[in-house]
């Protein structure tokens, strides 16, 4: 079989939706790549396969939902690829594939953030289980990003004065203090605060402050701040 740097395989007749996760397979072993494509196809997972770390990095690593990466390859090693991936804003969960003599390298990869590693020759069901766990991590990460994006948009939709009130609330000031700072009546501050809570979906003041931390309006919760902060 001819060696190719990149192959794109979409399973057919699986009854899966277009949102099915995509797993990157990065390994210089042609036969192993093909067997992994077949295995993941059999459980309904889309794959993109790469014969080298360079080919993988030349593509968009972030288009994948999990990455199977061989530790030892010609050219860039798996650890070197991992180092490059750490420069991305977000990196899909990484699973290292190691040979018998490469366990120490796999452990180094785990310390650098890989979610797991599996040693050749591997048990197929064990590999599938590891990949599924990685995909759960990715789904949770994407859900968090989506929730944060929605929160940021709702914050952006607030009026300027409402944003100012929220920042004051998040810093632990009372309505009376906020009114003095912003030259508003205490009643107006309370009205703004109720509008803010409704707009952001906050069920309580504590919840509102946690949302403020997520928005990076404050670095820490008020009771965690130092007197100087």
pLDDT (tens digit per residue) in 21-73: 899 999 999 999 999 999 999 998 999 999 999 999 999 888 899 999 999 89
pLDDT surpasses 90 at 192: yes
Question: If you write DSSP's letter for every residue of 110-123 in order, what string do you get?
Answer: HHTT-SEEEESS--
pLDDT recorded at residue 53: 93
Computed over every residue of the chain, the mean pLDDT equals 84
Query: 8: which residues sit within 8 A by CB, 6+ positions away?
Result: 48, 49
Q: What is the distance between the alpha carbons of residues 155 and 163, in angstroms, rounded to a whole number?
A: 7
Share of the chain above pLDDT 90, in %: 58
pLDDT recorded at residue 8: 45
CA torsion angle 127 132 136 137 (round to 10): 20
End-to-end CA distance of the chain: 64
Mean pLDDT value of segment 193-221: 88
pLDDT (tens digit per residue) in 63-119: 899 999 999 899 999 899 999 998 877 889 999 998 766 778 878 888 888 999 888
Query: 67: which residues sit within 8 A by CB, 6+ positions away?
Result: 23, 24, 26, 56, 61, 85, 92, 93, 94, 95
Domains (ranges, CATH) in the chain? 6-148 (3.40.50.2300), 158-224 (1.10.10.10)
Question: If you write DSSP's letter for every residue of 104-155 in order, what string do you get?
Answer: HHHHHHHHTT-SEEEESS--HHHHHHHHHHHHHHHHHHHHHHHHHHHHHHHH
Q: What is the distance between the alpha carbons of residues 28 and 31, in angstroms, rounded to a whole number?
A: 9
pLDDT (tens digit per residue) in 123-154: 999 999 999 999 999 999 888 888 999 999 99
Q: What is the distance between the alpha carbons of residues 95 and 107, in angstroms, rounded to a whole number?
A: 11
pLDDT surpasses 90 at 156: yes
Q: Using DSSP, state whether 213 is helix, strand or coil.
A: helix
Q: Is the pTM of this model over 0.95?
A: no
């Amino acid at each position: 079989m001819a060696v190719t740097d990149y192959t794109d395989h979409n399973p057919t007749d699986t009854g899966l939706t277009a949102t099915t996760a995509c797993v990157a397979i990065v390994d210089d072993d042609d036969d192993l790549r093909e067997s992994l494509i077949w295995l993941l196809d059999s459980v309904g997972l889309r794959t993109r396969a790469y014969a080298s770390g360079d080919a993988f990095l030349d593509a968009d690593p972030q288009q994948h939902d999990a990455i199977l990466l061989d530790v030892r390859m010609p050219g860039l090693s798996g650890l070197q690829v991992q180092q490059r991936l750490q420069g991305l804003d977000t990196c899909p969960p990484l699973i290292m594939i190691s040979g018998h003599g490469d366990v120490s390298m796999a452990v180094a990869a785990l310390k650098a953030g890989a979610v797991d590693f599996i040693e050749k020759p591997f048990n197929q069901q064990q590999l599938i289980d590891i990949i599924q766990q990685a995909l759960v991590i990715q789904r949770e990460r994407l859900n968090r990003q989506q929730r944060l994006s929605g929160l940021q948009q709702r914050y952006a939709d607030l009026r300027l004065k409402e944003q100012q009130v929220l920042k004051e609330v998040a810093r632990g000031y009372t309505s009376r203090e906020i009114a003095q700072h912003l030259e508003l009546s205490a009643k107006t501050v309370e009205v703004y605060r109720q509008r803010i809570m409704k707009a952001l979906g906050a069920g309580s003041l504590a919840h509102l402050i946690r949302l403020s931390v997520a928005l990076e309006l404050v670095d820490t919760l008020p009771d965690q701040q130092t007197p100087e902060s």
